[in-house]
Structure formats: C-alpha cells, structure tokens
Amino acid sequence: MQADTIDTIQARLSLLASHLAPSEMAEVRQRALAHAADWQQLLDDAARAIANYISPQDDAAAALAIRWAVLFRNSHAGSDAALDAKVRLAYEREPGLSAHLDPQVRDFMRHALLHLHQPLPAGEQQAAGPKPSALSVAHLRAAHQLLDQPLILDDSLALKILGPEGEAALRANPQQYDNPVSAVMRTTIAVRSRLAEDCWQAAQEQGVNQYAILGAGLDTSAWRGSLPAPAAVYEVDLPGVQQWKRERLQAAGMCQPQALRFIPVDFASENLHETMRAAGFIWQQPAFFSWLGVSMYLCEDDVMQTLSTIVRSAPGSSILFDYLLDPELLSAMERSAMQMFGARLAAQGEPWRCHFAPEQLEARLRQLGFRHIDHFAAGQLSERYLSGRSDGLRLGGTTRLLRAFT
C-alpha cells in the first residue's frame, strides 16, 4: 500500500471529523483504513477504463459504479443507516472530501453512478427482443469465452449470438468485463449454465428424453452438438425474445435443430401446463427442466405456481433453478451489492420481486409434492467447477441453485 494513499485518507478523515461525533469517527477511521487498498484498486480500474475509452453508460462502467457505491458504504458507515446519512451530508457540504480524486476519474464515476439509476425512456422497456438483463448475461457468457482458461462453459455460439457488431465490439475490448465484479458475475453465469447442461446429460443417461428450458433467453445449448433420438428440447420464453434470438442465429448461418421447439409463454399470465401441452410437450413422460435467471423477477406466488405445474410432470422428472437468497443470510457487503444491482435492474424495468431462505424454500417444495431436493451451495460448486484454477475466479453469494425431483 502506498504511503500517499494513507496520507490522503488521513487528510480526508480530518475533514470528516468536524461532521461526526468522536465515537462515529472512530468507526469510520477503522473502516477507511481497512479498505484503503480496495480504494486504490478501484481508482486504478476506473483510470484504466477511461484510458480504454469505456463510456460511463457501458456495462463495465456500471460494474465500477456498483463497486464504488458498495465500497463507499463499507469504508464509511457499514450497515449503520443513520451514520451513512451523516457521512453523505458531510460530503455534500465539504468539497475538500473529494478533492483528492483525479478530475477525470471523479467525472467518469459521477456519470456512471447517475446512469446506474437512470430509468429507461418511456416505452423502451417493452421493446421487442431480449430484456437488458438477458443481453447482459449473453455478453458475460461471451466474455467468458475470451477471458477465462480453462473454460467452465464451452459455448461456441456465445459470441455469434451477439450479432456481427456485438461480437466485433467484444472481441476488440473484452477487458471491459475484466474487473472483480464482472468476474464474479460471469463465473456465476458460466457455472449455473454448465450445471444445467451436466444435469441434462445425467438425466438422459437415466432415460429422460425431454428437456424444457424455461426462460431460455439467449441460451445456446440446444444449438450446440447433436441430440440422440428421441430426445427433444423445448425453449420456453416470451415470443419477442424467441423471434429476436432465431433471427440472430439464422443470420449467423445456424439452422434450427430438428429436435428443438419454441414455446412462447408469459410465466406470470399464461397456463404453462396447457401451453406446453399444446406445443407438443408430453407431460406423461419424464423431463428435465432448467429455469435460470427467472425466479427472482417473479412474485413469490408466480414462482410457486410454476413449480406446482412442474411437480405434476411424470415421475423421474426434475427442475434445476436459481433463486435470490434472503438478504438476512448475506454479509453486509453482499447485501450492499444486492441493493445496488437491484436498483440498477429496477431502473431498467426489471425489479427483483422475491427471495428465499433455503430451508423455507425446501419446505415449500415438499409441500407442493417434490420428493427429493438437492441444494448447490457456492462451496460445493466451486469444488466441482473451479478447483485447480490459478485465475482466482469465484462465485457470488447472493444466489443459490436447487434441483427438485418429482
């Protein structure tokens, strides 16, 4: 740690002391010094983003903004809301508290933070095509192909589905996703997708021949490799998303696999059982369902309604899905990160609506009729997919994966 970093922090603390009680200052001082190295790293990353011509509106800048907001809270007030309000008021009244920042970095981060909470223009949230969260997942899955070796998820179409311009832009600057927050996000996405593909493979070995990808988004698993007869894959999602995806893959020269069928549906308003049956899905035969990155955007009743439909499928069926953990089970830093991501998603029209505690969720699933439930904690998945790596990739702690069997 550089001496001038400590000197800068001490100078800032001296200015802050006139706004806080001595006991409050003692807490802030301890936190500030403990996070000095984190601030230096973040400032360096922000300067690097500016040098690489990253726009404050880019996803990479949003990741920096989230880190900034979380680190500001953790290095000042922690979870003390009253103290946090006093600290923020002090920063408004005392310009010298921000005088140590490089003007370019200060302006860049100010614009990135403003954009993080800026709502989309009216009507844009309902535009055809994938939602912003689905596009973000697709970019992170593609960035994984360029940045991480060995691959957790080998997805040969992850870049193609972005379209020629999107692929070219990402290939020209994959470093926009090479920061600590993006690394955790892309690792989490790669691991959950890999687990789904591994579970589908295991289900096929047990004689299961139907795979339903609920909320498929820009997942490409059905377009990669070949499926042994009589296996069939059903992609279930909003019709606008499906049309956009098919056009992208067709433009890339990818023909729709014979075994793949599209089922347009809105989980919050349509009868999933009847819609899938009408499209050819056979409820009387066992199936494997994956449902990734969806449950947290639905209200709890809609989540349970979907699961109550799945539990009626044939014996030997199972569903793998992820869910948002109850904030009370998270660390202070994880809760802050969850709040910032949630605010960003809400601003773009996709608010998180529900979360669960694992034990309570399992009890609900057993009440619905699921016979066996497997929980996948971060440690277990890390041992399975991340052991032996030298790049430091790690999973986030705000979501969990669960597989329930009928």
pLDDT at residue 75 greater than cutoff 80: yes
- Which pLDDT tens digit goes with each residue over 231-263? 899 999 988 888 888 888 888 788 888 889 999
Closest to 238 in 3D by CA, of 267, 210, 213, 211 = 267
pLDDT at residue 170 greater than cutoff 70: yes
Question: Domain locations in the chain?
Answer: 3-116, 160-405
Pairing of strands 287-291, 318-324: parallel
Q: 331 Cβ partners below 8 Å, 6+ apart?
A: 397
* Tokens matching residue 343: 């605010």
* Tokens matching residue 269: 């308003």
* Tokens matching residue 140: 């992170």
Intra-chain end-to-end CA distance of the chain, in Å: 55
**For a pLDDT cut of 90, what percent of the chain falls above it?**
45
Residue 142: helix, strand or coil by DSSP? helix
H-type helices in 35-160, by residue range? 36-51, 59-74, 81-93, 103-116, 132-147
DSSP states along 258-282: TTEEEEE--TTTS-HHHHHHHTT--
Q: How far apart are CA 12 and CA 270, in angstroms?
A: 56
- Which pLDDT tens digit goes with each residue over 296-332? 999 999 999 999 999 999 999 999 999 999 999 988 8
Confidence of residue 350 (pLDDT cuts 50, 70, 90): confident
How far lies 190's CA from each of 133, 143, 288, 385, in Å? 15, 10, 19, 10
**For a pLDDT cut of 70, what percent of the chain falls above it?**
94
Q: Is the pTM of this model over 0.75?
A: no
Q: How far apart are CA 249 and CA 237, in angstroms?
A: 16
User: Helix 163-172 crosses helix 239-251 at what angle (to 10 degrees)?
Assistant: 70
Instruction: Give the chain's length.
Output: 406
Q: Cβ(187)–Cβ(395) under 8 Å?
A: yes
* Tokens matching residue 148: 């991480």
* Tokens matching residue 278: 């009408």
Predicted pLDDT at 122: 40
Helix, strand, coil in percent for the chain, rounding step 5: 55, 10, 35
Q: What is the phi-psi region of residue 217: left when phi exceeds 0, alpha when psi lies from -120 to 50, beta otherwise?
A: left
Q: How far apart are CA 14 and CA 36, in angstroms?
A: 16
What top-level class would CATH report for the domain 160-405? alpha beta
User: Helix 103-116 crosses helix 59-74 at what angle (to 10 degrees)?
Assistant: 100
- Which pLDDT tens digit goes with each residue over 39-56? 888 888 899 989 988 888
Q: How far apart are CA 368 and CA 308, in angstroms?
A: 6
Q: Cβ(394)–Cβ(187) under 8 Å?
A: yes
- What average pLDDT score do residues 126-149 get? 84
Predicted pLDDT at 197: 95
Closest to 387 in 3D by CA, of 236, 128, 227, 191 = 191
Burial of 53 (0-12, 13-18, 19+ CB in 10 A): exposed
pLDDT at residue 30 greater than cutoff 70: yes
Q: Which residue has the higher pLDDT, 101 or 157?
A: 157
- What average pLDDT score do residues 151-166 get? 90
- What average pLDDT score do residues 332-351 get? 82
The number of CA neighbours under 13 Å toward the Cβ of 381 is 27
Q: How far apart are CA 158 and CA 287, in angstroms?
A: 25
Residue 252: helix, strand or coil by DSSP? coil
Q: Cβ(181)–Cβ(63) under 8 Å?
A: yes
- What average pLDDT score do residues 360-368 get? 97
**Burial per residue of 58-70, b for 16 or more beta-carbon CB atoms within 10 angstroms, e otherwise:** bbbbbbbbbbbbb
Q: 81 Cβ partners below 8 Å, 6+ apart?
A: none
Closest to 190 in 3D by CA, of 394, 398, 350 = 394
Q: What is the phi/psi pair of residue 323, to 5°?
A: -150, 160
pLDDT at residue 147 greater than cutoff 60: yes
